[in-house]
Amino acid sequence: MTEVAVVGAGFGGCYAAYRLAAAGRRVAVYERTYRIGGRIRSAPLRAGGWAELGAMRLNTEAAAVMALVEHLGLAAALEPFPFGRPETFAHTHGGLRRRRDLAAMPDSDADMLVARAVEAAVPGFARMRAAFHAARGGGREAAAVHEHAAYRAAVHTAAVHGVPLRRVSWPRLLDAALTPDAVRRITHTGGYDVHTGGAAEWIDVLFDTPPDAHYVALSCGMQALPTILATRCAGAGGRTRLGHRLVRLETTGKRYELTFAVEDFAGRDTGGRECATADAVVLALPQAALQAIEFAPHLAARLRPQWRADLAAVQPVRALKLFLAYPEPWWQACGVTEGRSTTELPLRQVWYAPGGASHLLLAAYPSGPSTAMWDRFAADPERYPVDPADGTGFADAPPAPAAAVAHAHRLLCRMHGVDAPPPVAACLQDWAGPRHAAAWHVWRTGRSPGQVAPRMRAPVPGEAVYVVSDCWTGDPGSIPGVLGCAEDVLRDHLGLPEPPWLG
C-alpha cells in the first residue's frame, strides 16, 4: 500500500521521494517521460564530457545543496565552472571585444549597468549585499540577519518615479535608470533577454547571490543528482513508474485516487488509463503540468480561492540549447579555451568546451524572445547526426534540425572571424517543446513570493495534497529553490525531521 505518491521525477520529486523512503514511508513515483531528471538532463559525449541540456552549474554558497552533494558521494566530482573569463568575448554593435576590456568600459558591461540601475532604485544595495554575504560567509549570523533586515526595509520604501518598487517591472526599472542604448547593451553583453517579471523580486535574487559567486559543476554530469536520489529511493523500497501522466486527482474517503494516462516513449497517449491510491500526494511539477490536472469536484471545491491566481503568479521563460561537436576545437586559435562569450546575434551565448568536452560548443543559448528566431527551423525534416558512425557524437540526446545547425555554424564563423570546419554532431533541447512549457519562471510584477509560496505548497486546506516545485520560490528555476521548497513540505506537512547531513 502506497503512503505517499510523488508525481514528477525531476530533482524535486526525486529528492522528496528519497527523503520519504529513507524515513520508512512507502513511496511510489510517477513520471510522464521515460527518463529521470526533469529539467536536469546530461547527454554524454562518446569522446568524454557532457552536454548539459538543462541545469549546468551550482553556487558553492548554497550550503544545503553542497551538503546534499557531499551526502550523495559526489563531492569528489565537483569541478570549477568557468563563467566569465578575461579572454572570452562580448560581441555587440558588430564589434568583438574581450571581457577584460569591458572592465574599463562601465557603459558596456551588463553587470555594471545592472548594478547602476539597482543602486538607483535601492540606494545602498551594493553595500548591504556585500555586508550580508561577508557576515554569512564568516559565520556571523546575527550580523547577516541585521543586514538582511536593513535590505528588506530599503526595498519596502523604494520607489521608481513615485511608484512602489513592488509594483514596478524589471524592464520599467531599467528604462527609468538607464538610457535605451544601455538597456540594449545589458541584453547584448549579458547573454539573457531582459525578462518582464517584477523588479523587486529580481533584485531579491540578486541580493541573495554573492557578489563574487563561485560556481561548480559535476564531472559526472548534473543529471547524477536526480539519478542517485532515484537509485537510493529504490534501494529504500520506493517504486517508480515511467510513462505515467497524471490527469485526474480525487479523494475516496481518507485516501486519494490518481488517474494516469499511459504514454509511449515518444510522448503519445496510448489510450490506456491506470489508477493508484495513496494516503498523501506530492505534486512535484512545474506550472503547466499543474494547470493540466483535473481535480475532482470535492477537491476542486476546497482548493484555495487564490489557486488559479497563484498558479499564474509566475510567468514562463523559454530557452533552448544547441550543442555542436567539432573535429577540432578551432576556437582555441582565437585565444579562448573555456568559459562564455555573449553576442547580439541569435546565438546569444556561446560556451566553450562545456562539461569537460574539449571539442564541444554550446553554440546557441537564447532565452526569452530571442528563442523565436529559431522557430523557422523547427519544421525542417532533415536532422543533423547526433552520433556519427565514428563515435564522436552524443550517446543520448535530442537531434537538431540540419538547417539550424548550418545557420548556427555560419553565425559562429561570422562572430569569431574564422572559417571553421563544419561540426560532426549536434543536438538541440528546446525547453518549450511538447513536453516542457518553460525552461524556468520569473515572478510577475506585484505578486508577493512570501504570500504565494506557502499557499502553493499546501493548495487544499485540510487535505494531504502538496506541491514541490522550483517555480514558486525566492529563486525560481534554481536547484536551491526547489530543495528548500521540498524541505518545507517534508518538515511542515509530512512530519519528517531535518536530515542530519543537512545540519
Residue-wise pLDDT for 378-419, tens only, equals 889 999 999 998 888 999 899 999 999 999 999 999 999 999
Q: 217: which residues sit within 8 A by CB, 6+ positions away? A: 52, 56, 57, 58, 78, 79, 80, 81, 355
- Residue where the block lists cell 531582459: 194
pLDDT for residue 438 is more than 90: yes
Residue 502 phi/psi, 5-degree rounding, is -80, -25
State mean pLDDT over 13-35.
97
pLDDT of residue 40 exceeding 80, the answer is yes
How far is residue 394 CA from its own chain's centroid?
22
Specify the pLDDT at position 264: 94
Predicted pLDDT at 86 = 87
- Three-point CA angle 494, 289, 436, nearest 5°: 125
In the chain, % of residues over pLDDT 90 = 86
Cα–Cα distance list, 357 to 39, 78, 209, 362, 394 (Å): 21, 15, 28, 10, 11
Domains of the chain: 4-40+223-315+444-492 (3.50.50.60), 44-58+319-430 (3.90.660), 106-217 (no CATH)
DSSP one-letter code for 193: P
106: pLDDT strictly greater than 70:
no
pLDDT in tens, 191-223: 999 999 999 999 999 999 998 889 999 999 999
Per residue in 394-404, is it b (16+ CB within 10 Å) or e — as a string? beebebbbbbb
Looking at per-residue confidence, does 140 or 185 come out higher?
Answer: 140
Average pLDDT, stretch 71-92?
Answer: 92
Which of the four pLDDT bands, split at 50, 70 and 90, describes residue 434? Answer: low
For the cut 80, the answer to whether the pLDDT of residue 126 exceeds it is yes
| Average confidence (pLDDT) over 232-252 | 96
SS3 38: coil
Mean pLDDT of the chain: 94
